[in-house]
Structure 1
């Protein structure tokens, strides 16, 4: 993590605390249990939504949607690792992404197979989404063994417009996912994993740094 990234991260945390104290961060329940069906047939269930009310720069019409996914070459072992790391880490992530400039809304979705996750973000501008991607890449770098993180920024104002403009649909039925009990794991586990990854990255950086001769 570079000093610049660390500063952005800290500023987002401070901003999020202010939003929380003023009651601006909400967790709507209207989409919980809704099933998102992708064009290739994969299905993801919405198990959490986070929204900033009122959204920053909500009057602008140039919003974008960021689609985040995590792909592993070994799907079976990757699913197990992601279910251990991704869920707990997500519990401590809200205070950081909600305070990033331009954040509006996020939907958390889980696939039918253990460890499959999809995240849909709404941002005010492309620049806001790209700034968040830069921070996320720095944070995920120590966890490269999980697989390749994918970020796709599309010029749709909202998640609903993103779904409507593609061969996607919200399924008619609602599902009660066991995923909910997974994301209730103690947030401290996610924090410890993030700290462990950061320390591992620091050790690797120190080892790669050339040492001057005495």
Structure 2
């Protein structure tokens, strides 16, 4: 788990462009699903915040062969009050920016929490692929996010639904920075 930051601009934008092309093929073949079972579920985090799932995106079954969970967070600039609802509706248009990345399995889109942070909780097929995606796509939310607010955590060997179902143990005092992505007992 780490946060080395975004990829170099050229490499990141090539990854996003390649993903977008693959995404349009997946969308044309009706491989992308928007199940509703988890919509409305509230997920609590170890930092004392919680957020509601407002959308799920799944590719095929949504299950990875080499599972890992990826959690991404950011805080949007200039989005307050009713603008949050507009962002949630508009965000569907961002789907081609991630479903075509190699290894994508599923994503839960979380509404802003008590600190105005949005999160995406993904199941990814392979930790290295998840890391590559997070570092590539970083450049997109950076255009509209509060500087320094973008973070991600890759948790190898853990399915997304397992992360949500069971609170995650703290890594000790030196890992207090993990509280933003670790789940907590429901609220």
TM-score band, normalised by the shorter chain? 0.7 to 0.9
2:64 is the alignment partner of 1:65: no
Residue 131 of structure 2 aligns to a residue whose secondary structure is: helix
Q: Which runs of 5+ in 1 are unaligned?
A: 172-214
2:15 is the alignment partner of 1:8: yes
Structure 1 residue 44: Cα displacement = 1.0
RMSD between aligned residues: 3.0
Structure 1 residue 145: Cα displacement = 4.0
Partner in structure 1 of residue 171 of structure 2: none
2:42 is the alignment partner of 1:32: no
> Whose helix fraction is larger, Structure 1's or Structure 2's?
1
Partner in structure 2 of residue 22 of structure 1: 29
Pick which of 20-29 and 89-98 moved more: 89-98
Structure 1 residue 71: Cα displacement = 5.1
CA contact (8 A) 2:34 2:55 kept: yes
Partner in structure 2 of residue 90 of structure 1: 91
Structure 1 residue 36: Cα displacement = 1.0
* Distance in 2 separating the partners of 1:100 and 1:2: 17
CA contact (8 A) 2:67 2:157 kept: yes
Task: Give the TM-score normalised by the residue count of structure 2.
Answer: 0.73
Q: Which runs of 5+ in 2 are unaligned?
A: 1-7, 169-182
Residue 80 of structure 2 aligns to a residue whose secondary structure is: helix
CA contact (8 A) 2:12 2:139 kept: yes
CA contact (8 A) 2:75 2:146 kept: no
Structure 1 residue 133: Cα displacement = 1.4
Aligned pairs for 1:50-199 within 5 A: 50-55=57-62, 58=64, 60=65, 62-70=66-74, 80=80, 83=84, 87=88, 90-113=91-114, 115-143=116-144, 145-163=146-164, 164-166=166-168, 168-169=184-185
Bigger Rg over Cα: 1
Task: Give the TM-score normalised by the residue count of structure 1.
Answer: 0.64
CA contact (8 A) 1:79 1:114 kept: no
Residue 16 of structure 1 aligns to a residue whose secondary structure is: helix
Give the aligned length.
164
CA contact (8 A) 1:63 1:158 kept: yes
Pick which of 154-163 and 124-133 moved more: 154-163
Structure 1 residue 161: Cα displacement = 1.0
Residue 92 of structure 1 aligns to a residue whose secondary structure is: helix
